[in-house]
Amino acid sequence: MAKKTLGKMALLILATALAVLAAVAEQPLTQDDVTLLLLGGAPSEKIIKLVEQRGVDFQLTPDAVTKLKNAGATDELVDVMRRVGSHPQPAATSAPAAPAAATPAPAPAPAATPPPAATPQSPPASTEQKVREVMQGLSSAPAGTTEDLPYAPTFTAKTLAGESLNSRNFKGKVLLVNFWATWCGPCKKEIPSLTQLQDEYGSEGLQVIGFSMDRTSGVVRQFMHTYRMSFPVAMADRDLRRIFGGITAVPTTFLIGRDGRVHFKVEGAMPLESLGGRVQTLLSASAPGTQMASAQTASAGTPEPLKRLDPSKAAEDTSGPPIASPPESAQNSPPLPPTQTTAAAASPTVRPAAARNAASAASPVLSDPSPERVQQIIQAFAAKEKLFKEARDNYTYHQINKVETLDADGSVDGMYQQEWDILYDDAGKRIERVTYAPLDTLKRVMITPEDLDAMRNIQPFVLTSDELPEYEVKYLGHVKVDQITAYVFSIRPKEIKKGRQYFQGVVWVDDRDLQIVKSEGKQVPELHTKKGENLFPRFTTWREQIDGKFWFPTFTLADDTLYFDQGPVHIKEVIRYSDYKQFKAGARIIGVEAIDQPKDKDQKKNNAPPPPKQ
């Protein structure tokens, strides 16, 4: 997404910058590391600080300097790299031993010091932790944004039900702490929303706590009974008000993330949609590997649980009716006018009736494959992905894209939407027919050609054996995802080539079919030029097994904040793929052509997607 600012567009720190920041602190920066940081738009002072802390492991040859400057390196950065030079690896710290050689030390002396290995080691990181680390590195938030947030105070209290409240007991949860009073009109309007949030999100890690500013508890008990409050309430004594910085207005709400930091403080009542949006953001942002289902729509159908089809029950005639049927709720509903149908099918602001923790359950008790076997798995699933890509070219399908921007209150203030059918004409030529393209009302960002390309080629990510040499693939472990076990791999480009876009993130590979069943990441590099900046949201794409052989993308969700130089923009994006039908066997695929595009000049510029690159 690119920010609209007086005809210019704006961009901020790329995921790769934070990925490098999260690397092992002692490891020197490679030339690729520095290049990725530069292309990602990391501030020069941040890169200089990293270089001073860790050094570089490459020679600053004239060719290297030219490449770095082409990527955006300043003269100051080049001078710092020359001055710091190679930062020795931990194993090499004993190398500069010339002075010691003049006065030889007894050989046994070092052995007199207990080796560091005697210190208890931290347990190895779980697969889920590794996934979170990768995804945290893809945030476009400026470095230090989260660290600058204040920690929430620790508190103890006794609820009106006689139970003890201790903030330490809520570690790892999202806390919504609300100071209110029975005599407060806005509080009376807000309390039902808080009860609804507790009921809806409590199982996902939200805990609402109310602190009443009333002088006596009797009136509060009656109020709780009347309003059927489902969350704990305690009296807000002087100490409680003091440790929360002094409460000068009611209602006052604090939203505390799983990290224990205060992410939001709001004075005054907030609509349910606004509070819900912020709660969803904290619940999902605290665990990037989890499924951000807040933007899915029940009427559109949530992503199906990952499960294999029984090949014996697969449709024999795949050229017949759509293999991917509409959800049951849609089947039982009367037809809607086109505008209603598309709004219901892709609205990224309505929460589904039920959400699954599809990121991963606890890692199954299985032994990890050997390094040799891991490489075999990588080669095998890349080969299978190539077959899938070829097979998908024989299918027609319907695609819905919808992007919304949300204001500080969580209300939609702009929307881009387009629907099209991917078909073949009578001559076997692949075409795109736009079926719905309302006016683009986005004001703070605009859809760019890079965004449209990502919607086709990055978000439904396919890693074939042809593209495999361009990526660094690292095994993270295995997890249980819904009904299957999946190998988990981190994916990042080995080299960022000018004019190219890549995927960076995590993929889940079915352990039996050896095909990607889920991907989570973002498009890189984000574009940072003198003309403006272009940022891309983190997204999750789920696939569904269509014919018992291949896993097809069916749902993509992005719910992210893009941190532009001129301010953050909250983005929600939904892509829905449906009505997969296999084209007639033996058809000759000639190419792709976009037809029936909007006639309006501005719409054609912003809404009409160009043909996919061949």
Q: Distance (Å, rounded) from C-alpha 277 to C-alpha 348?
A: 11
Structure tokens at 261: 């930091």
Number of H helices, E strands in the chain: 16, 22
Domains (range + CATH), the chain: 156-287 (3.40.30.10), 371-606 (no CATH)
Q: Distance (Å, rounded) from C-alpha 512 to C-alpha 487?
A: 10
Instruction: Please answer whether residues 517 and 551 qualify as being in contact, where contact means their C-beta atoms are separated by less than 8 angstroms.
Output: yes
Instruction: Please answer whether residues 539 and 503 qualify as being in contact, where contact means their C-beta atoms are separated by less than 8 angstroms.
Output: no
In the Cβ-directed half-sphere of 376, how many Cα atoms lie within 13 Å? Answer: 6
512 to each of 35, 253, 485, how far by Cα in Å?
38, 48, 8
Q: Chunked in runs of 10, what are the mean pLDDT values of the chain (614 residues)?
A: 50 46 60 76 80 80 79 83 62 39 43 41 63 66 56 92 93 94 92 94 94 94 95 93 86 91 84 81 58 33 57 40 31 31 31 33 65 94 93 90 88 91 83 88 87 80 94 91 86 88 92 92 78 83 88 91 80 92 54 41 37 37
Name which of 456, 462, 479 is nearest 368 in CA terms: 479
pLDDT score recorded for residue 528: 64
pLDDT score recorded for residue 595: 41
pLDDT score recorded for residue 347: 34
| Beta-carbon contacts of residue 70 (< 8 Å; ≥ 6 apart) | none
pLDDT score recorded for residue 124: 59
- Residue 599: burial class (beta carbons within 10 Å; 0-12, 13-18, 19+): exposed
In the Cβ-directed half-sphere of 43, how many Cα atoms lie within 13 Å? Answer: 10
Q: Which helix (H) or strand (E) holds 412?
A: strand 412-424
Name which of 355, 392, 272 is nearest 557 in CA terms: 355
DSSP helix/strand/coil, 144? coil
Q: Which residues are 420's β-sheet partners?
A: 399, 434
Residue 402 phi/psi, 5-degree rounding, is -145, 130
| Beta-carbon contacts of residue 291 (< 8 Å; ≥ 6 apart) | 303, 355, 356, 357, 358, 359, 540
